[in-house]
């Protein structure tokens, strides 16, 4: 949905990330639709800014510049968890557990602030150069879910392989949908693949909503029985059968640690540092209407 530019705050002299809506997407809207998109974009940025947690990307501000909605965030040096997993494959169990604990704590803070992410996936989790984790893109999925965006832009909400069954079925969602998605992330870290995957979108949607998920050990026997049980509960179709909160999920994940490894409760910063490289996006020229100009920055760009 968006492009992230690297800019610079001329007052505080620091790098910032500026997320905007892709120009080709804005072009699909009529005037009222564009206004509604901008309003929702800024509204959700404000809601996400209320989350205070070291594993959640800090938002500095939001607004509309020359008709383009944007939000200014901390600039993160690192790579996505998706990139790391593509390079390294399945992860050691202690790394899975430690990472899961950090991400559970971040989601607990978000849910306490009344914010549901709706698109937790490896591509929205940054692994910084020092190994710390950061969840990005809070609020963006809610903007995508708005009627005007779906109607005029034709976007698919969320990422089907990671979305909860109730989300894909169009039912009301709460924080438990994020916990389902986080379970899928941990499942991928453990087995190297999501529980459901297909190039045919309708086949994938049907499987997520209706088909029992595979057990992790059927895909990778090295997964411990305790972690397999944990993942199975987190992937339950019925939200009531899953973890009721991120705090409960973290407690159950801690219980997996003794069976996995005596060191499984190590901090994610320690266990993720190995193999995490500082990856910078390539230089690019800013679009003429980019809000980065207001910050006086030239820049690098990410598309998401």
What is the SS3 assignment for 120?
Answer: coil
Same domain, 230 and 297: no
- Are 113 and 203 in the same domain? yes
Cβ-proximal residues to 255 (8 Å cutoff; 6+ apart), any chain? 226, 230
pLDDT in tens, the chain (304 residues): 678 899 998 888 999 999 887 777 776 777 777 787 788 888 888 888 889 999 999 999 888 888 888 889 999 999 999 999 999 999 999 999 999 999 999 999 999 998 999 999 999 999 999 999 999 988 664 544 444 443 333 444 568 999 999 999 989 899 999 999 999 999 999 999 999 999 999 999 999 999 999 999 999 999 999 999 999 999 999 999 999 999 999 999 999 986 665 454 444 344 444 333 333 333 332 333 233 333 334 344 444 4
Give the number of other CB atoms < 10 A from CB of residue 283. 10
Judge if 152 and 252 occupy the same domain.
yes
Q: Which domain holds residue 166?
A: 78-273
Please list, in sequence order, all residues whose beta carbon lies within 8 angstroms of the beta carbon of residue 267, skipping any fewer than 6 positions away: 98, 102
Structural domain total, the chain: 2
Pick from 138, 137, 133, 47: which is nearest to 96 by CA? Answer: 133
Q: What is the C-alpha separation between 228 and 199, in angstroms, rounded? A: 26
Q: Assess whether 297 and 256 both reside in one domain.
A: no
Q: Any idea what the CATH number is for the domain that residue 43 is in? A: 3.30.200.20
Same domain, 103 and 223: yes
Same structural domain for residues 46 and 133?
no
The catalytic position among 119, 178, 238, 298 is 119
The helix (H) or strand (E) run that includes residue 216 is helix 216-219
DSSP state for residue 56 in the 8-state scheme: B
Q: Is 83 considered catalytic here?
A: no
**pTM of structure:** 0.81
CA 183/CA 14 separation, integer angstroms: 35
Domain of 251, CATH number, reads: 1.10.510.10
Residues 268 and 162 in one domain: yes
Contact 80, 278 (CB under 8 A): no
Q: Are residues 180 and 261 in the same domain?
A: yes
Angstrom distance (rounded) from CA 150 to CA 153: 6
Same domain, 53 and 67: yes
Please answer whether residues 175 and 245 qualify as being in contact, where contact means their C-beta atoms are separated by less than 8 angstroms. yes
70 and 134 in one domain? no
- Inter-residue contact 213 to 195 (CB < 8 Å): yes
Greatest CA span in the chain, whole angstroms?
Answer: 59
Alpha carbon 247 to chain centroid distance? 18
The 10 Å Cβ neighbour count of residue 79 is 20
In this structure, the answer to whether residues 296 and 184 fall within a common structural domain is: no
Closest C-alpha to 71, from 61, 79, 80: 61
Secondary structure of the chain: what % helix, strand, coil (to 5)? Answer: 45, 15, 40
Q: Are residues 17 and 34 in the same domain?
A: yes
């Amino acid at each position: 949905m968006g492009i992230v530019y690297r800019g610079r705050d001329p007052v505080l002299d620091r790098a910032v990330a500026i997320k905007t809506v892709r120009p080709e997407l804005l072009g699909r809207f009529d005037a009222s639709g564009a206004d509604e998109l901008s309003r929702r974009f800024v509204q959700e940025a404000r809601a996400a800014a209320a989350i205070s947690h070291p594993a959640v990307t800090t938002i500095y501000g939001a607004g509309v510049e020359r008709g383009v909605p944007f939000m200014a965030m901390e600039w993160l040096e690192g790579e996505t968890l998706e990139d790391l997993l593509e390079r390294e494959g399945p992860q050691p169990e202690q790394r899975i557990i430690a990472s899961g604990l950090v991400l559970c704590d971040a989601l607990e803070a978000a849910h306490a602030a009344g914010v549901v992410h709706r698109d937790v996936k490896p591509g929205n989790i940054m692994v910084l150069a020092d190994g710390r984790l950061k969840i990005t893109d809070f609020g963006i999925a809610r903007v995508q879910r708005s009627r005007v965006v779906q109607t005029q832009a034709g976007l698919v909400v969320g990422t089907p392989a990671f979305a909860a069954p109730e989300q894909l079925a169009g039912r009301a969602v709460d924080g438990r949908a994020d916990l389902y998605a986080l379970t899928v992330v941990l499942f991928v870290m453990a087995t190297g693949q999501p529980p459901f995957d297909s190039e045919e979108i309708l086949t994938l949607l049907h499987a997520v909503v209706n088909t029992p998920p595979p057990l992790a050990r059927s895909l990778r026997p090295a997964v411990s029985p305790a972690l397999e049980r944990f993942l199975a509960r987190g992937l339950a179709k019925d939200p009531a059968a899953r973890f009721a909160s991120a705090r409960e999920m973290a407690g159950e994940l801690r219980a997996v640690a003794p069976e996995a490894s005596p060191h499984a409760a190590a901090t994610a910063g320690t266990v993720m540092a190995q193999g995490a490289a500082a990856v910078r996006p390539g230089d690019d020229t800013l679009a003429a209407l980019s809000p980065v100009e207001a910050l006086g920055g030239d820049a690098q760009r990410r598309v998401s």
